Amino acid sequence: MKKEEKTLHDHFRVIENLVFIGFIVMLIPALFSMSALWTGILMFLGFGIMVSAVLYRNKYYKCPHCGGKINVRGVPNYCPDCGAELK
């Protein structure tokens, strides 16, 4: 069976989810009194998740026609570089 390719909307959802999860992981120590060790571990882990969102964006969130980078603020209708319609 052939695997379906992810659309730009799918990639955008992954980026949003990674940023959200990273933020929540970093927020946990602020909401609950935790030792300095656990606070450091969770802050580092949350930051790592957010960095992975940036790396994911740089690798996969591109125009399928020209490979140009797309703004992360949403999925545009047209590529800002080549003008091709994005689905």
Largest CA distance in the chain: 52
Which residues constitute the domain of residue 55? Answer: 8-60
- Number of domains comprising the chain: 1
CA distances from 12 to 32, 71, 84 (A): 31, 10, 18
Answer whether residue 1 is part of any domain: no
**Is pLDDT at 59 greater than 70 in this prediction?**
yes
pLDDT digit string, tens, across residues 8-21: 888 889 999 999 99
Q: Is residue 18 part of a domain?
A: yes
Residue 82 burial class via C-beta count within 10 angstroms: exposed 0-12, middle 13-18, buried 19 and up = exposed
For 32-53, how does the pLDDT look when each residue is reduced to its tens digit (9 = 90+)?
888 899 999 999 999 999 999 9
Domain assignment of residue 66, yes or no:
no
CA 71 to chain centre: 12
pLDDT of residue 34: 81
Does residue 73 lie in a domain region? no
